[in-house]
Structure 1
Amino acid sequence: MLQRLVELAQYTSNQFRALLGELDIRQSAGRTGACFDNAAAESFFAVLKAEIGTTVRETRAHARQDVFRWIAEHYNRERLHSTIGYITPYQARVRCHQRLDLAA
């Protein structure tokens, strides 16, 4: 099945969409002519691949566990993000909630 996905070059083709439906996968696409729609997601996945690698895990469950651990422990709590002032997403969330509590 995965090979069939790779072979279909037109991601908007009816065949591609039908195969996604068979695999219970929801397709995501940005607006036409808006190249920055998926920039954040593309950046995230590039970092994910660079930092945990593209090693094939023993099972899908192992892969999900590795990705979840990386997001929960490293990406959200340790990795500094330039777009939010070189703090972690966790720190940004705490600051936001503190401001909301003060405003209430």
Structure 2
Amino acid sequence: LGEYTVMTAHFHLKRKIGYFVIQTYLPCIMTVILSQVSFWLNRESVPARTVFGVTTVLTMTTLSISARNSLPKVAYATAMDWFIAVCYAFVFSALIEFATVNYF
């Protein structure tokens, strides 16, 4: 059929995830663990449980804002957005659990 000259190029792309692990994933995981510490506290120690709950919710809010600002703007939710949302749900549910236990 003929002889053709072909030029091929191989691009090896590698994602460096270390920055996101240190800046976003580990702080989110540690914040969720810290929010679960309130389950180990005495039911009557309201100030300590309140401090854990409010501090971890504010920390997750700050982490989500800083993680979103460090990435390019896209119209869809990324895996990091879902991870942060699930972590935020765990932290917020711990605060809601405290309010429920303290009310009843």
Same fold by TM-score greater than 0.5: no
| Larger radius of gyration between Structure 1 and Structure 2 | 2
Structure with more contact order per residue of length (Cα contacts < 8 Å, sep ≥ 6)? 2
Normalised TM-score (structure 1): 0.29
Structure with the larger helix share: 2
